[in-house]
Amino acid sequence: GAGVSQSPRYKVAKRGQDVALRCDPISGHVSLFWYQQALGQGPEFLTYFQNEAQLDKSGLPSDRFFAERPEGSVSTLKIQRTQQEDSAVYLCASSLGRAYIGETQYFGPGTRLLVL
């Protein structure tokens, strides 16, 4: 595809349910990022992959959050036992690689998660 795609676009979950959010990065992009954007706030970093290696997961808020990118392409963010405070837009971004500092990150449209 031409850009980063995410699915589903909207997800409603009951508190305690597990959810899985998918990200398809731009083809050939080495780096992949997940961000969480609460309503009316800026995105906050969750985790970073370089190919299949998860190099930074310092932003994951709890051990209920888990991300993977097993083949270095598609990534899945999983949230176990969802809580109301998990309600947010989850953004995925990809960049070509670590060729230089400040390489452009291209964002997907996000998945809006609502936990009831």
Partner 1 sequence: QQQVKQSPQSLIVQKGGISIINCAYENTAFDYFPWYQQFPGKGPALLIAIRPDVSEKKEGRFTISFNKSAKQFSLHIMDSQPGDSATYFCAAVLQGGSEKLVFGKGTKLTVNP
The dihedrals phi and psi of 98, each to the nearest 5 degrees, come to -100, 40
Task: Compare residues 14 and 28 and give the one whose CB is closer to partner 1.
Answer: 28
Of 86 and 110, nearer to partner 1 (C-beta) is: 110
Distance CA 32, CA 64 (A): 20
In angstroms, what is the minimal distance from the CB of 12 to partner 1? Answer: 17
Minimal distance in Å, beta carbon 81 to partner 1?
26
Residue 89 CB: number of other CB atoms within 10 A?
19
Least separation in angstroms between residue 28's CB and partner 1 is 17
The C-alpha torsion from 95 through 3 and 74 to 98, rounded to 10°, is: -10
The answer to whether residues 114 and 14 touch, using CB atoms and an 8 Å cutoff, is no
Residue with Cβ nearer partner 1 (15 or 87): 87
Contact set with partner 1 (CB under 8 A) = 4, 31, 33, 35, 40-45, 48, 55-56, 59, 91, 93, 95, 98, 101-110
Nearest approach, Cβ of 91 to partner 1 (angstroms)? Answer: 5
Q: What is the DSSP letter of 102?
A: T
